Amino acid sequence: MIRFLLTPLGLLLFVAVASAQTARPLTSAELQSLLANGLSVTSADIEGGRKFTGHVNMERGGRLTGTLNIVGHGQVPLNGTWKVNGAQLCRTLGPVQPEEVCETWLRAGNAKAVTVQVKGEAVSINRWQ
């Protein structure tokens, strides 16, 4: 009976570890190429939008505009800046987060989606067309 229960648990652990290992950070060159002409992204928290969703336009030259919909608080217009710093995207999101935050973008298969990490913690999923 215990062996029967441990087999699915072991398989689940193997799949989770394999998935984490396949996610790789975008390099500085990949980020620069992706953002060279600007990029429009939709974003949702790591829980699929239970806390927030958003839409951000990262314009060529480093300007950022968009909206953030915080569950229970409504929609907030965003403005700020972005830049590539090494293998990270550093941005401000005024008025919600005016201090600079640097993100690591991890790709795991889908060419038009990344998991966003801040200080090693997954915080959102970004997608684009």
List pLDDT tens digits, range 14-48: 444 344 457 999 999 999 999 999 999 999 999 99
Q: Which residues pair with 117 in a beta bridge?
A: 104, 122
Average pLDDT over residues 51-78: 97
What is the residue-wise DSSP string for 32-95? HHHHTT-EEEEEEETTSSSSEEEEEEE-TTSEEEEEEEETTTEEEEEEEEEEEETTEEEEEEBT
Question: Is 24-127 assigned to CATH 2.40.128?
Answer: yes
Q: Where are the domains of the chain?
A: 24-127
Sign of the torsion angle spanned by Cα atoms 26, 19, 40, 78? negative
The pLDDT assigned to 7 comes to 44
pLDDT digits (tens, 9 = 90+) for 70-110: 999 999 999 999 999 999 999 999 999 999 999 999 998 88
d(CA 83, CA 102): 9
The pLDDT assigned to 21 comes to 52
The pLDDT assigned to 29 comes to 97
What residues contact residue 37 under an 8 Å CB cut-off, 6+ apart?
A: 60
